[in-house]
């Protein structure tokens, strides 16, 4: 609990102590599409960004795959914070992104987690191999990069086929966390950020997945072409690289290059 309290305090300070700047003569607004795993961080960063600049963010949360499909179908987003690199790269190649705006804002980490403190010990693979559970939750690999990393992890451990019938899927990282925290699945794979979140009331038990068991979860951001002249969009992308933003991102367990 002491660690959790320290995290909450650091996050509060990061959001509250952003030095205020004079608001622009005409504050703008940006529509931001964000992968579910990064929603809580975006909430904190958005408040700090508005306090600093006067610009406002309107946020839509979903799986990377669904948000990407919405953008292809004309959804009026200005910024896309994906949970992978592939979809932003495809948008860039297709001329739907502002040239030169794409960068990796975070590298995600994966955890095997249970709300029950007695389920997962130090040997995570052993828990999975013993199979003493009814349901294992993962995000949909076709839509969510954390789901794809979960499938890769189980494949690397030679357990995908053996456990396939027990897997229940959320459409995104947030739904997967809800499946586990509600008890609909005894354990499952979630972003490490969800495990570390001060909003998570149940520290439970966990095993942080070694990076070599799955492809890197490099999360890219970009400005969409329609927002090339939107000052709020370009200002938020600058803010996302600032020391204040990086501090908050790291506190949630993400890597930042």
Does domain 2-107+217-251 sit in CATH 3.40.50.300?
no
Check residue 46 and give left, alpha or beta (phi > 0: left; psi -120 to 50: alpha): alpha
Q: pTM for this structure?
A: 0.85
Asked if the model's pLDDT at residue 157 lies above 80, the reply is: yes
* Closest among 207, 213, 198 to 136, alpha carbons compared: 207
Residues 6 or more apart in contact with residue 174 via CB below 8 angstroms: 36, 37, 39, 61, 194
> What average pLDDT does range 156-170 have in this prediction?
97
In CATH terms, 108-213 corresponds, of 3.40.50.2300, 3.30.420.40, 3.40.190.10, 1.10.287.130, to 3.40.190.10
Distance (Å, rounded) from C-alpha 188 to C-alpha 181? 10
Distance (Å, rounded) from C-alpha 195 to C-alpha 206? 8
Asked if the model's pLDDT at residue 179 lies above 60, the reply is: yes
pLDDT at 200: 86
Mean pLDDT, rounded, of the chain: 91
According to DSSP, the residues that pair with 190 across neighbouring strands are 111
User: Are 232 and 55 contacting, i.e. CB atoms less than 8 angstroms apart?
Assistant: yes
The band of 36, judged by pLDDT with boundaries at 50, 70 and 90, is very high
* Closest among 257, 254, 229, 205 to 35, alpha carbons compared: 254
pLDDT digits 0-9 by tens, 207-256: 999 999 999 999 999 999 999 999 999 999 999 999 999 999 999 999 99
pLDDT at 180: 97
Strands 29-35 and 56-62: parallel
* Closest among 214, 143, 217 to 175, alpha carbons compared: 143
More confident residue, 252 or 201: 252
pLDDT at 226: 96
What percentage of the chain exceeds 70 in pLDDT?
90
Enumerate the CATH 3.40.190.10 domain ranges in the chain, comma separated: 2-107+217-251, 108-213
Please give the sequence-ordered ranges of beta strands (E in DSSP) within the chain, or none if there are none. 29-35, 56-62, 79-81, 103-108, 110-114, 136-139, 167-170, 187-191, 205-208, 217-223
Tokens of 204: 């439970």
pLDDT digits 0-9 by tens, 49-104: 999 999 999 999 999 999 999 999 999 999 999 999 999 999 999 999 999 999 99
> What average pLDDT does range 13-40 have in this prediction?
72
Residues 6 or more apart in contact with residue 44 via CB below 8 angstroms: 11, 14, 15, 248
pLDDT at 236: 98
Distance (Å, rounded) from C-alpha 253 to C-alpha 152? 21
**Location of structure tokens 């966990």:** 206
Tokens of 162: 């053996």
User: Are 207 and 77 contacting, i.e. CB atoms less than 8 angstroms apart?
Assistant: no
Distance (Å, rounded) from C-alpha 42 to C-alpha 59? 8
| SS3 label, residue 130 | helix
């Amino acid at each position: 609990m002491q660690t959790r309290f320290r995290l909450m305090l650091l996050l509060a300070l990061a959001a509250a102590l952003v030095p205020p700047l004079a608001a622009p003569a005409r504050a703008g607004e940006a529509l931001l599409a964000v992968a579910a795993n990064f929603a809580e961080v975006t909430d904190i960063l958005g408040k700090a960004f508005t306090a600093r600049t006067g610009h406002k963010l309107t946020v839509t949360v979903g799986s990377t795959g669904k948000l990407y499909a919405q953008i292809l179908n004309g959804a009026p987003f200005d910024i896309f914070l994906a949970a992978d690199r592939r979809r932003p790269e495809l948008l860039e190649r297709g001329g739907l992104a502002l040239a030169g705006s794409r960068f990796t804002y975070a590298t995600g980490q994966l955890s095997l987690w249970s709300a029950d403190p007695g389920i997962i010990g130090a040997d995570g693979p052993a828990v999975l191999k013993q199979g003493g559970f009814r349901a294992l939750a993962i995000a949909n690999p076709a839509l969510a990069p954390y789901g794809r990393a979960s499938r890769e992890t189980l494949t690397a451990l030679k357990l995908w086929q053996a456990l396939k019938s027990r897997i229940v899927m959320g459409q995104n990282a947030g739904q997967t966390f809800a499946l586990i925290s509600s008890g609909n699945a005894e354990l499952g794979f979630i972003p490490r950020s969800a495990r570390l979140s001060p909003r998570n009331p149940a520290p439970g038990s966990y095993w942080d997945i070694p990076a070599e068991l799955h492809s890197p979860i490099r999360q890219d951001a970009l400005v969409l072409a329609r927002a090339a002249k939107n000052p709020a969009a370009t200002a938020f992308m600058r803010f996302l690289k600032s020391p204040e933003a990086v501090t908050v991102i790291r506190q949630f367990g993400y890597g930042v290059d």
